[in-house]
Amino acid sequence: MSGIVDFLFWVFAVAAVVTGWLVFRTDSMVRAAYWLMASFVAVGAILVTLDAQFLGLILILMMAGEMTIMAIFMVMYMMNPAGLNPMTMVHQHRTAAVAGAGAFVALALVGLLADFPDRPAPSGTDPTVDLGVELLGESMLVFESAGVALLAVMIGAIALVSKRGRYGDADEGSEEPILEKTE
């Protein structure tokens, strides 16, 4: 049993990293959104193999919804929604690659060299039941605060995107001034 779980873990781990990398390697924005979703699904599957079934499944559920919305935004705002023309969408490529590789090496070294306590969950417990009791018991304030934060975000997002504000239209008077070239 643990052999199969190990094998599945490695399959999903490789899938998560490769699809995460492909997000930034494709010309098409829509494909990028779905590669990102594939990465989240692979991480959700890893969470399920780690016995956090609830977290894994809500991660997949949430990301399926979010990436669908993301794909709509892609089509709305993207330079190249369908990837019909090959194009480059990157800047400061070398710096970014060095920073990404550096972040990976530093974090992986911390993960490998630091001495974390080895205390796996005792067998015979149900993590989902534990989480439910925690959410509606000791940590209810945290849970409720997340809900209030999401409500505040909804109000803030509407305030940001509303077409007409108190002092006129959103694009009125806030156009970037035409500056003379100073070369």
With beta carbons less than 8 A apart as the criterion, state whether 56 and 46 touch.
yes
Least distance (Å) between residue 122 CB and other proteins: 6
Alpha-carbon distances, residue 7 vs 14, 19, 41, 128, 151 (angstroms): 11, 18, 17, 24, 41
CB of 13 to other proteins, least distance (A): 4
CA dist 163 and 182 (Å) reads 34
- Shortest reach from residue 20's CB to other proteins, in Å: 5
CB of 154 to other proteins, least distance (A): 7
Q: Based on CB atoms, which residue is closest to other proteins, 64 or 106?
A: 106
The CB-of-86 to other proteins minimum distance in angstroms stands at: 15
- CB 30, CB 75: distance < 8 Å: yes
Q: Give Cα 65 distance to the centre of its chain.
A: 12
Cβ count near 135 (within 10 Å): 14
Which of residues 175 and 183 has its CB atom nearest to other proteins in the complex? 175
Residue located via tokens 């794909």: 71
**Per the structure block, which two tokens stand in for 4?**
């199969």
